[in-house]
Amino acid sequence: MKIAYQSVFYPYRGGIAQFNASLFRALEKKAEIKAFNFSLQYPQILFPGTSQYVSESDIADNIPSERILNSINPLSYLKTAAAIRAYKPDILISAYWMSFLAPAQGTVARLVKKSAKTISVINNITPHERKLGDYLMNQYFLKQQQAHVVMGNAVKNELKEYIPDAKLMLHPHPIYNHFGGKIPKVDALKSLNLPTGKKTLLFFGLIREYKGLDVLLKAFNKLSDAYQLVIAGESYEDFSKYEELINNSPNRDRIFVFRRYIPDDEVASFFSASDLCVLPYKSATQSGVVAVAFHFDLPVLVTDKGNLKDTIEPYDTGIVIDEPDENMLSLAVNKYFEEAQENQFIENIKHFKKKFTWDHMAEELITFAKNI
């Protein structure tokens, strides 16, 4: 089987590029494959972060790719489709996560689908910050695909609203394994200049309104001095409202903020230093942070939003609360530690990791593609 994989790869950074790199490496063990990358992903004026590109300290997999697709240049859509057709793949995989990219990725798939099967791997359909035109953009992209891969029931159900008879494969988000091994907790705390002897809660990842950091800060006010909270990630919005909550918190001396992009070589320290990863999202599809936490055998607390509970409840790997509510959250945190749930969750995480690997997903995807 010959596969063309169109999405974002090195030198771009972020969870989607990491996802694509991991799946690419698994697929290349089983098929001939080539990556068709973006020459321009987002115009810099539209990008809220400091950089779209990996840093020297990132443990990035330099996937060989043809950087050809410019998200805002229609001529590049034609050029990309021609390059993929010249490669003569059996399958075109398009990893999709953003309606802004639908014209580019959708047009490429439309121009290729007469000569190759088109399959989308969907990380996200509806953006967390919705914009006018999202529905039409998504519809355009999805209709160019002959089949779809999703990683949770929420996205599966959303996909069926667009295409009721969609051919689809469901596979849980595999676990990231490129951040190195877990390190002793005391060493991790020391490397981050954090106190020892506390129960450490971790909020990790890009800081955006839908991720519910405000809910977590209010919940943390209700916890005793046995706890400390670590916030680690670059802010994609005005951070002043969180600063106000922190400054007014009676527990502000036990809130530690690392408001910056966390390079790959520091990720192990944050997760190894923590006792529970807390993701109080107000909306979600799935979260790559869960996959990182599981790599370090760290249980998670999530809200019942999107696909978040799909890797938690069926496998008993963490805690799910109904809503991003400060009272629910604080009660759940206390219960977790009072009932000493950590060891059982860790054992279940280890079992989950053995089953749902990148190799397993690649094997399932190839079998699925053959049957389209």
Q: Are 287 and 16 in contact (CB under 8 A)?
A: no
Cα(first)–Cα(last) distance of the chain, in Å?
14
- DSSP, collapsed to helix, strand or coil, labels residue 263 as coil
What is the pLDDT at residue 75?
A: 98
- Nearest Cα to Cα of residue 44 among 64, 65, 72: 72
Distances in whole angstroms, Cα of residue 256 to Cα of each of 143, 153, 247, 296, 301 = 46, 35, 12, 21, 19
pTM: 0.81
> How many Cα atoms within 13 Å fall on the side-chain side of residue 76?
18
Contacts of 9 (CB under 8 A, 6+ apart): 17, 20, 21, 24, 35, 37, 63, 65
What is the pLDDT at residue 49?
A: 72
Residue given tokens 């991790």 in the structure block: 188
What is the pLDDT at residue 370?
A: 95
**Rounded to whole angstroms, how far apart are CA atoms 233 and 271?**
13
Identity of the residue numbered 322:
D
What is the pLDDT at residue 105?
A: 98
**Rounded to whole angstroms, how far apart are CA atoms 32 and 35?**
11
What is the pLDDT at residue 270?
A: 98
Residue 186, phi then psi, degrees to nearest 5: -65, -35
Mean pLDDT for back-to-back runs of 10 residues, the chain (372 residues): 96 90 97 97 75 75 95 97 98 95 97 97 79 90 97 91 96 86 95 96 93 97 97 92 96 96 92 97 81 94 88 92 96 94 93 92 97 93
Residue 258, phi then psi, degrees to nearest 5: -115, 80
What is the pLDDT at residue 264?
A: 85
Consecutive H or E run containing 94: strand 91-96
- Nearest Cα to Cα of residue 125 among 111, 137, 110, 117: 137
What is the pLDDT at residue 287?
A: 75
Please give the structure tokens belonging to residue 265: 């070589």
What is the pLDDT at residue 285?
A: 65
- Nearest Cα to Cα of residue 364 among 153, 5, 123, 121: 121
Dihedral sign, CA of 135, 136, 138, 142?
positive
Identity of the residue numbered 259:
R
